[in-house]
Structure 1
């Protein structure tokens, strides 16, 4: 299961620098080309997802993936276009803006391609199941309950904030999107041209968050997870290797090798840093700033001086306290005037530490 504590982007991340994809999409994939079958099954370990067609064909290609990425992000970030009470997403210009962030040209021709793809997605049914020897659980739902889209309009008809284009999602689909979504880097995702590259990137992102040792996966397992267009394993392997190469170009930290029998993953730096890593880096930066800008450092039996890590020296500090170094030559007196009060001979050989305020203003 996903460690949700490791899959949360800090609240102060820049708007739309990161997006979220469902953990289901990060484990199994929709078709890449128009499929002949009206039902397909994808597997990843104990997870099985059955996609059932409700339109002319199953959803396939890049646009259904990008819609789910957008919908998951809007729901996760509680964007104004999402109404959690009615479970309705206002599509309109917000979806166009999102596509443009991903370098997708939104014009008349592409809209004619997007329209049937999203309609197929809205009508598609998901049957999700996790089965082990001792436990089974699952969920069945259709993506959308109702929708109304004027595909050629890109602006609201009335006052700002109201849209003619909307989709009311099913409760099951929303719960799937909300269940520990995986954060991804939009700048990386925008560089991929093929839908398989998107799938591989999402999959690697999820795997690397909890990976501590290398993992080898058979080509048969990967075919059950990603394959559907290529009946021949040889062709699937070729397509997968090309997708991996594209992902590694945009995400060079990903350590993955494709061998004859296995694809091997090695622990790698995540493309989006988890909260724990971000906080550690913030603390390290704060300590570095403190070391460079100055801090109070104590000398046993003498007192404290305002200094930096590089400036501090015990012998020089004692010379400061006992006055053997003249104030005009003392490194601490020259560094900060607060040190002048403690410069000079110590009564009885022991000086009193300066009363350091708790807060500096």
Structure 2
């Protein structure tokens, strides 16, 4: 009579499964139970193969596409939480800052949308040497990211005064940038934009053909900087800032929620950040389908394009990138413009917000 064939346990490789195998060895139904361990090992191997294939695919992508793919996968695996929420003033979701750096002698910039205009005037800040230093107009994705960070900190801390030094470097890293200093470092570039924002003045104008209204304010009322002693980092480094009372009071009523993971996905592009903020603003307001013409879209996002067809091609590409992260976004580009449909906040990965009910006089 032939002796039973020895059980081949070479297919079980993971340490925890090997330990479990040894505990079962010599016991009843050893072969049957060991087969279940082999099945578990095979499932793990398949999962690892899929994960490794995804990792190779991600590695082969350009950086910005990789960011979008990672964030979309995160949204599929993990529902948005309150911890993902950040805020930006809704006015800044409608009228944005310049996309490109302006020459230092350009001291004003206007952005129009419908019957609203945002005018940004560049300013100066005092240096530790006692001189006024002209600041450029804030521009690009870093200025927008900083505004989101500052608005979020003011909302989180429930205070117009923000301690910058303790949060700023971590914020830069969270956005996917390195925190290197020096004249060419990302951290220095962020701080230069913070200085520009601290020095600038905003004017918001609205009109209806019969009357007009102008609101002027400095977003930041007080700003403290110090000059680093490091010869390689001789930029002005921020310490604290205080929002103007007008800005802070307005922010408390008009803080618009955004998802920080989505912001990180678009952190390399000023126009994509504007598109994301603007879509969040628009979708929050509408309760029926809305059509926006190409003329209005060009007015909003067409800075830097001399030909309409170039702008239309670029906007279609960038909206496609937004949809990569938010595949359920209810938008459609047509020959006439953009169609929007009402949608729940979850299409933009925003968690459901609790609505506080106002108390009646009898309940107070």
How far does residue 150 in structure 1 lie from its aligned partner after superposition? 4.2
Which stretch shifts more, 169-178 or 184-193?
Answer: 169-178
Q: Distance in 2 between matches of 1:190 and 1:164?
A: 23
Q: Distance in 2 between matches of 1:164 and 1:208?
A: 35
How far does residue 201 in structure 1 lie from its aligned partner after superposition? 0.8
How far does residue 202 in structure 1 lie from its aligned partner after superposition? 0.9
Q: What is the root-mean-square deviation of aligned Cα atoms in Å?
A: 2.8
Which stretch shifts more, 104-113 or 140-149?
Answer: 140-149
Closer/same/farther in 2, CA of residues 51 and 147 from structure 1, 3 Å limit: same
Closer/same/farther in 2, CA of residues 61 and 214 from structure 1, 3 Å limit: same
Q: Which runs of 5+ in 1 are unaligned?
A: 1-12, 154-162, 280-361
Checking the alignment, whether the CA contact within 8 Å between 1:111 and 1:151 is kept in structure 2 is: no
1:76 aligns with 2:162: no
Aligned to 2:281: 206
How far does the alpha carbon of each residue in 1:65-115 deviate from its partner, in whole angstroms, 9 at most, with x for none?
111101111112225xxxx3xx42210131222232222322221022123
Is the partner of 1:275 in helix, strand or coil? coil
Tell me the TM-score normalized by structure 1. 0.62
Aligned to 2:18: none
Is the partner of 1:149 in helix, strand or coil? strand
Closer/same/farther in 2, CA of residues 150 and 250 from structure 1, 3 Å limit: farther
Q: Distance in 1 between matches of 2:177 and 2:356?
A: 30
1:49 aligns with 2:49: no
Tell me the TM-score normalized by structure 2. 0.62
- 1:223-242 matches, within 5 Å, as 223-242=298-317
Q: Distance in 2 between matches of 1:64 and 1:175?
A: 21
Checking the alignment, whether the CA contact within 8 Å between 1:115 and 1:151 is kept in structure 2 is: no
1:28 aligns with 2:95: yes
Q: Distance in 2 between matches of 1:262 and 1:88?
A: 42
Q: Which runs of 5+ in 2 are unaligned?
A: 1-79, 124-133, 230-236, 358-364
Is the partner of 2:286 in helix, strand or coil? coil
Pick aligned residue for 1:216 from 291, 304, 324? 291
Closer/same/farther in 2, CA of residues 258 and 164 from structure 1, 3 Å limit: closer
Q: Distance in 1 between matches of 2:172 and 2:296?
A: 32
Hey, which bits of structure 1, 4+ residues long, moved more than 6 A? none
How far does residue 33 in structure 1 lie from its aligned partner after superposition? 1.0
Aligned to 1:101: 174
How far does the alpha carbon of each residue in 1:306-326 deviate from its partner, in whole angstroms, 9 at most, with x for none?
xxxxxxxxxxxxxxxxxxxxx
Count of residues in correspondence between the two structures: 252
How far does residue 20 in structure 1 lie from its aligned partner after superposition? 0.6
How far does residue 136 in structure 1 lie from its aligned partner after superposition? 4.1
Q: Point out the structure with max Rg over C-alpha.
A: 1
